Chains A and B, each alone.
Chain A
Amino acid sequence: MSVVTEEVVDSASIAAASTRRRPLWQVALRNPNVIVGGVILLIMITIAALAPLLGTIDPTRIDPASRNKKPGTEITMRMDDGTTQKRIAHFGTDSLGRDVYSRVIYGTRVSLLVGVAVALISVAVGTVVGLISGYVRWLDGIIMRIMDGLMAIPGILLAIALVSIWRAGLVTVIFAIVVPDVPRVVRLVRSIVLTVREEPYVEGAISVGTPTWILMFRHILPNTVAPLIVQGTFLAAAAILVEAALSFLGIGIPPETPSWGNIMAEGRTLFRVFPHNILYPGIFLALTVLAINIMGDGLRDTLDPKMSKKV
């Protein structure tokens, strides 16, 4: 016999539930795209973190005896202490005899680092400038004209120009990708500020004498979080592609640090005979960017429904 439990209607909790906002990540995790993209991305992060443990050798180790080996060739490595060691080069070796598998695995680190760094820095800088532009009216015109000007220079060309000034390296590349991205974030944040500042609750807060900085952080900034997460995701994906393109052109990350782009640059000359040097990093690169983009689409659909209607 079943026991009928006494149901108590807790009206207070029902009322609270309807007004309580679910945390953003909970909303987002209901979307299949977010899960698929997120899982692939998580695998890539794991690969980057555990790179030394994944059967890799030193990715910068040059071995003239085993240059240009096809994938799956068994190569004999002469170690520093005179002993020899056999291992299978799963992805082959490049024209300097470096192990492509190890380089691709270690290259994951550079790409993810560039993606995350560019997204975080551009969002941070863009948010500050956007808040100022949207709130301090007399500065708005000046700031937006500068942003319009920056946006008129095609992004990758601006990055190329900036790279040409400083010495090529990770920091230069990140900075060069951030500069063309900032105006996009500024525009987004500014447009949100302009809409939100007309809302009754903001006017209410102003009327009771809330200091500007509290107004910004408590009432205006939270409105930008969801769109910025979405924007940041797409910026990260694009940044990874731009870094790869710069390194591929030979003006990005120098060859000492393996990155997917410069592994491909290395493979260009012998592409007809050894396509693997371009194929494997290409697959990793496409898969990572695809994962982030799929996740971004899912995030946009769940967190920013207004924007998803537009695109």
Chain B
Amino acid sequence: MLDFIIRRVIAIVPVLTVVAVFIFLMLRLTPGDPAAVIAGDNATSDQIDDIRRKLGLDEPIWTQFAIWITDILQGKFGESFFFKKTVAELIAQRIEPTLALATCTLIFAVCVSVPIGVLAAYKQGSMFDRAVMAFAVLGFSVPGFVIGYCLIYVFAIELGWLPVQGYTRIGVDFWKFLERMVLPSLTLSVGFVALISRITRASVLEVLNEDYIRTARAKGLSNRVVLMKHALRNAAVPILTVIGIGIAVLMGGAVVTESVFGLPGLGRLTVEAVLSRDFPTIQTVILMFSVVYVVINLIIDISYTIFDPRIRY
């Protein structure tokens, strides 16, 4: 087991290396002087020279990469000349809304989609099953921002139940924070619920045909126990896998959702950085999202053994 975890952790090194090389090359392949690009439009020539020296832009590209990656590994992500702050400070400032949004969405989506997926599989072919499947296709097809605006229109503007936009920090006022999280999390959940409920239904359906399910029923166990203990637990691996893959959808969706609801998170930061061509920030945010994505999937991979003791590494 420990052996597996070590091997699995080592296996992410080449993946992250490719990610780093790609993000590094992205900036170097832009036309023009990278130092001038990094410094932004309003930089003085002193600042540009300073950056050129720091990044070793006169050195060969290998050395430049070495300098860049060493800085990153030491937590020196560079400076955003547009926001007049270090990138690390910027991220620290902006991470809370994104983390909150992702957590609320994840909790909500899993709590909703797993039960409806199990129920749809149990009642295969029923109206409920068809409704779930139809919702799943619809959830993939309607873009997040359209859902977001529909929800805003109905619940915030017409009914006036919830605030339209904005964010309250969790430490400032928890209830206001929660109030402002409802619509964004609902919006971001739709695609996620569609994804998870569909996979849950498919994998539970497969398990329900197994002999041990018949045995469990024959023992006289109630439907609830059979479904939740025998079926769902055995169907857990594909469901977990898709939740892991779905994290990427979640991150992409967060960018759009934060823009719709005016949440000052990392997604908005990314868009603002792109619009102002603030490359140090773009690079760091993308790198960070990728690392988080890879690490979450690593954890999920390792957790398979907990959900399915038959898996031995």
Which positions in A face B, CB cutoff 8 Å?
145-146, 148-150, 152-158, 160-165, 237, 241, 244-245, 248-251, 264, 271-272, 275, 278, 282, 285-286, 289-290, 293-294, 297, 310-311
Is B199's beta carbon under 8 Å from chain A?
A: yes
Contact A165 B29 (CB under 8 A): yes
Per the bound structure, the CA–CA distance linking A272 and B160 in Å amounts to: 12
- Interface pairs (8), CB distance under 8 Å: A157-B285, A157-B286, A160-B274, A165-B26, A165-B27, A237-B140, A251-B274, A286-B143
Interface residues of B in 191-213 (CB under 8 A from A): 198-199, 202
Is B157's beta carbon under 8 Å from chain A?
A: yes
In the complex, what residues of A have CB within 8 A of residue B153's CB?
A: 271, 275
Contact B198 A311 (CB under 8 A): yes
Contact B274 A164 (CB under 8 A): yes
In the complex, what residues of B have CB within 8 A of residue A290's CB?
A: 137-138, 141-142
Contact B256 A154 (CB under 8 A): no
In the complex, what residues of A have CB within 8 A of residue B149's CB?
A: 271, 275, 278, 282
Contact A161 B271 (CB under 8 A): no
Contact B17 A149 (CB under 8 A): yes
Contact B22 A153 (CB under 8 A): yes
Q: Beyond A245-B255, A278-B149: 12 further Cβ-contacts under 8 Å?
A: A149-B17, A149-B22, A157-B286, A160-B271, A161-B283, A165-B29, A237-B140, A245-B143, A245-B144, A271-B153, A290-B138, A293-B141
Determine which of B273, B283, B289 lies in contact with A154 in the assembled complex, contact meaning CB atoms within 8 Å. B289
Contact A153 B141 (CB under 8 A): no
In the complex, what residues of A have CB within 8 A of residue B143's CB?
A: 241, 244-245, 248, 282, 285-286, 289
What's the least CB distance linking B49 to chain A, in Å?
23
Most buried by A among B19, B27, B141, B157: B141
Whether A150 contacts B22 in the complex (CB less than 8 A), given A156-B255, A311-B202, comes out as yes
Contact B141 A286 (CB under 8 A): yes
Per the bound structure, the CA–CA distance linking A94 and B17 in Å amounts to: 47
Contact B26 A152 (CB under 8 A): no
Is B47's beta carbon under 8 Å from chain A?
A: no
Nearest chain A residue, comparing its CB with the CB of B156: A272
Contact A251 B271 (CB under 8 A): yes
What's the least CB distance linking A178 to chain B, in Å?
15
Is B166's beta carbon under 8 Å from chain A?
A: no
Nearest chain B residue, comparing its CB with the CB of A37: B137
Determine which of A153, A245, A282 lies in contact with B286 in the assembled complex, contact meaning CB atoms within 8 Å. A153
Which positions in B face A, CB cutoff 8 Å?
14-19, 21-23, 26-27, 29-30, 137-138, 140-146, 149-150, 152-153, 157, 164, 198-199, 202, 247-249, 251-252, 255-256, 259, 270-271, 273-275, 277, 279, 282-283, 285-286, 289-290, 293-294
Nearest chain A residue, comparing its CB with the CB of B157: A272
Nearest chain B residue, comparing its CB with the CB of A179: B22
In the complex, what residues of A have CB within 8 A of residue B30's CB?
A: 165
In the complex, what residues of A have CB within 8 A of residue B144's CB?
A: 245
In the complex, what residues of A have CB within 8 A of residue B145's CB?
A: 245, 248, 264, 278
Whether A154 contacts B290 in the complex (CB less than 8 A), given A248-B145, A293-B140, comes out as yes
What's the least CB distance linking A176 to chain B, in Å?
11
Contact A311 B293 (CB under 8 A): no
What's the least CB distance linking B187 to chain A, in Å?
13
Determine which of A157, A165, A237 lies in contact with B141 in the assembled complex, contact meaning CB atoms within 8 Å. A237
In the complex, what residues of A have CB within 8 A of residue B138's CB?
A: 290
In the complex, what residues of B have CB within 8 A of residue A158's CB?
A: 286
Determine which of B14, B29, B146, B256 lies in contact with A286 in the assembled complex, contact meaning CB atoms within 8 Å. B146
Most buried by B among A156, A272, A285: A156
Determine which of A148, A155, A157, A244 lies in contact with B15 in the assembled complex, contact meaning CB atoms within 8 Å. A148
Contact B137 A297 (CB under 8 A): yes
In the complex, what residues of B have CB within 8 A of residue A150's CB?
A: 18, 22
Contact B18 A149 (CB under 8 A): yes
Contact A293 B137 (CB under 8 A): yes
Whether A148 contacts B18 in the complex (CB less than 8 A), given A154-B251, A158-B286, A161-B286, comes out as yes
In the complex, what residues of A have CB within 8 A of residue B152's CB?
A: 271
What's the least CB distance linking B119 to chain A, in Å?
18
In the complex, what residues of B have CB within 8 A of residue A241's CB?
A: 141, 143
What's the least CB distance linking A191 to chain B, in Å?
16
Nearest chain A residue, comparing its CB with the CB of B17: A149
Most buried by B among A145, A146, A152, A311: A152
Contact A164 B282 (CB under 8 A): yes
Contact A250 B271 (CB under 8 A): yes
Whether A161 contacts B282 in the complex (CB less than 8 A), given A149-B15, A249-B255, comes out as yes
Nearest chain A residue, comparing its CB with the CB of B251: A154
Contact A155 B252 (CB under 8 A): yes
